[in-house]
Amino acid sequence: MRYTDFTPFDLVLLAQGLGVTIGLFLATTLIGLVIGAVWGIVRFYRVPGLTQLITFVSEILKNSPVLVQLFLVFFGFPAFFHINVTPVTAAIITLSANTAAFVYVIAVSAIESIGRDQIEAARVFGLRRWQVLRHVITPQAAAFSIGPLTALLVNQLQVTSLISVIGVMDLAKIGANLNLRTLQPFVVWTVVGILYYLAAKLVAMLGTRLEKRLRAHSAFRGL
Amino acid sequence: MRIDLSILIPYAGFLAQGALLTAEVCVLAIVGSVILGMLVAIARTSQLSWVRWLAFAYVDLFRNIPFLVQLFFFYYGLPEIGMYIDAFTTGVVALSISGGAYASDAIRAGILAIDNGIIEAAEVSGLPRRVIFSRIVLPIALRTSVRPLGSVLINMILTSSILSTITLNELTGNARIVASETFRPFEIYVVLLVVYAALTYLVSLGITVLHRRLNRDLQEQVS
C-alpha cells in the first residue's frame, strides 16, 4: 500500500513550510538590516581598520555563492570550532550575514547620496555628529534606500530556498518531500513556485507602499 | 583550531576539474540567456500588447521564483513528460531560462536607450524595419548592455553552485566530495569562498575591459 495521492494534510504541510520560510526571512532580514546599518555607520565615522575589514568581508560575502557560505557554517563551523550548529542556526547566521553585506552597500550609497553641504550646514548650526546622523542623514537615507532594499529583499526571499539543502523544513524542502511521495513534480513544484511568487509580490508591494510614505514629504505637490 | 591548507593540495586537480565544469556550464548558459534575452527584449518592446504582456509574464515569473524551485521543476518534471536529459543539460537549460529573464531586462534597457534620431535616420535611408532592427538597433543595444549582461554572468557563476543539488559535480559539487573525504569542511569551504570571489572579480575586470573596448567611440563624449 502506497500513499501517493495528495491529502488535505499536504495543505497544512505547505502552510507550515511557508511559515518557516517567511519566519526565517523576517528574522534574518531584521538582523541583516541592523548589522548592515551598523557597518554603514562605522564607515560614516571612518573608524580606521574596521572600515577596511568590513568592506573586505562584505565583498567576500557578496561575491560567493550563498550555498557555499551555508556549507561553511553548517559543516565547517562544527568541525573547526567544535561547536554544535543546528540547520536553523546555520541558516540564520548565513542569511543574516549575507543580507547584512548587501544592506551595507545600500547604506553606504544612501549616506553618500546626501550632499556634503547639508552635513556642513548642520554642523555649522552646532549639531553634533550623531545629531547630524539622526536628524539629517537617517531620514533621507531611509527614503533613498527603500527602493534598492525592496529589490534586495525580494531576492533574499528566494535565497532562503537554499536552506532546504541543509535540511531546514522550509517551503522548498516540503516541496521536495511531497515530490518524493506523490511523484507528481509538475503539480508540486508549480504550487511551491506560486507560493514563493505570491510571497515575493507581497514583499514588493509592501516596499512600494513604504517608499511612497517615506517620500511623501519630498514629492512634487504641484503649483 | 588550525587552518591547514596543505591537505587540499592532492585535491587541487580534482577541484580544477569542477571549476572547468562550472565554466563550461556558465559559458553555455550565458550564450543561451543572451539569445533568449534578446528575443524576449524584442517581444517586450513590441507594438502588440499581448506579446508585450506575455514577455513581461515570463520575466516576472522567473525573477520571482527561487532558482532551486525552477531547477527541481525541470529536473524532476521533464522525465515525467518523456524528456530524459542529463543533469548537465538540465542545468544549462534552467540557468539559461532564468538568466534570460535578467538578460532581457538589460537588453531592453539598451534598446530603450537608443536615440530616436538614429532610427529615424535609418528609416529615411529607406531601410526595411527588419534590417533596422537587426543591423542597427540590436548591435547598439547589445554593446551598451555589456556591463549589465556581465553582472548577469557573475550572478550566474554564483547561481551555478546550486546545480550541485541535482548531482552535477561542478566546483561546489566536487568540493562537497572533497569535504566528505578529508573531513576538513572548514578549510575546503573557506578556500571555495575565496576562489569564487576571485573568479567573479576576474570576470568583472574582463567585462569592464570589454565594455570599454566596445564603447570606445563613446568614451570621448563622456570624458
Show me where the domains of chain B are located.
Answer: 7-216
Tell if the CB–CB gap between A65 and B159 is shorter than 8 Å. yes
Which residues, other chains included, contact A21 with Cβ-Cβ below 8 Å and sequence gap of 6+?
A157, A160, A161, A170, A171, A172, A196, A199
Model confidence over A85-112: pLDDT tens digits? 999 999 999 999 999 999 999 999 999 8
* Contact status of B161 with chain A (Cβ, < 8 Å): yes
B residues 109-138 closer than 8 Å to A (CB): none
Q: Tell me, what's the pLDDT at B2?
A: 73
What is the model's pLDDT at position A121?
92
* Distance between B16 CA and the closest CA of chain A, angstroms: 16
For residue range B34-76, what is the model confidence (pLDDT) as tens digits?
Answer: 999 999 999 998 889 999 999 999 999 999 999 999 999 999 9
- Whether domain B7-216 has CATH 1.10.3720.10: the reply is yes
CB pairs under 8 A between A and B: 124
Q: Which residues of A touch B176 (CB under 8 A)?
A: 71
- Each as own residue / partner, the long-range contacts of residues B110-119 (CB below 8 Å, 24 or more positions apart, any chain) are B110/B41, B110/B140, B110/B141, B110/B142, B110/B143, B110/B144, B110/B145, B110/B148, B111/B41, B111/B45, B111/B137, B111/B138, B111/B141, B112/B45, B113/B141, B113/B144, B114/B140, B114/B141
Closest chain B residue to A58, measured at CA:
B197
Report the pLDDT averaged over residues A7-22. 92
Tell me the shortest Cα–Cα distance from B126 to chain A, in angstroms.
Answer: 43
Asked if pLDDT for residue A186 goes beyond 70, the answer is yes
User: Tens digits of per-residue pLDDT, B108-135?
Assistant: 999 998 888 988 999 899 899 889 888 8
The model carries a pTM of: 0.90
Tell me the pLDDT tens digit for each residue of B181-223.
988 899 999 999 999 999 999 999 999 999 888 888 776 555 4
Give the distance from CA B158 to its chain's centroid: 10
Q: A64 — contact with chain B (CB < 8 Å)? A: yes
Establish if B56 touches chain A: CB-CB under 8 angstroms: no
Q: Return the residue of A nearest to B187 by Cα.
A: A76
Nearest neighbour of B185 by CB, restricted to A64, A76, A159: A76
Res. A27: pLDDT tops 70: yes
Q: Where is pLDDT greater, at A219 or B170?
A: B170
Check if the beta carbon of residue B53 is closer than 8 Å to that of residue B116: no
Q: Does residue B186 belong to the interface with chain A, where contact is any CB pair within 8 Å?
A: yes
Chain A: give the shortest CA distance to residue B33, in Å. 19
Residue-wise over A117-127: b if at least 16 C-beta within 10 A, else e?
A: eebeebeeeeb
Contact B138, B176 (CB under 8 A): no
Q: What is the mean pLDDT of residues A147-158?
A: 94
Among residues 136-195 of chain A, which lie with CB inside 8 Å of chain B?
154, 158-162, 164-165, 172, 175-176, 179, 184-186, 189-190, 192-193
d(CA A172, CA A165): 9
Q: Would you place residue B157 in the very low, low, confident or very high pLDDT band (cuts 50, 70, 90)?
A: very high
Give me the mean pLDDT over the A120-139 stretch. Answer: 89
Q: Once rounded to an integer, what is the mean pLDDT over residues B23-41?
A: 94
What pLDDT is recorded for position A103?
96
> d(Cα A73, Cα A165) in Å, to the nearest integer?
13
Which residue in A has a C-alpha nearest to residue B186's C-alpha? A76
Q: Given this model, what pLDDT does residue A223 score?
A: 62
What mean pLDDT comes out for the span A135-152?
90
CATH annotation of A9-216? 1.10.3720.10
ipTM associated with this complex? 0.89
CA separation (Å) from B55 to A151, A196, A210, B49, B90? 20, 20, 28, 10, 22
Distance from CA of A46 to the nearest CA of B (A): 25
Q: What is the DSSP string of chain B?
A: ----GGGGGGGHHHHHHHHHHHHHHHHHHHHHHHHHHHHHHHHHT-SSHHHHHHHHHHHHHHHHS-HHHHHHHHHHHGGGGT----HHHHHHHHHHHHHHHHHHHHHHHHHHTS-HHHHHHHHHTT--HHHIIIIIIHHHHHHHTHHHHHHHHHHHHHHGGGGGGGT--SHHHHHHHHHHHHS-HHHHHHHHHHHHHHHHHHHHHHHHHHHHHHTHHHHHHH-
Please give the pLDDT value at position B223: 45
Q: Is the pLDDT of residue A16 over 90?
A: yes
Report pLDDT for B1: 64
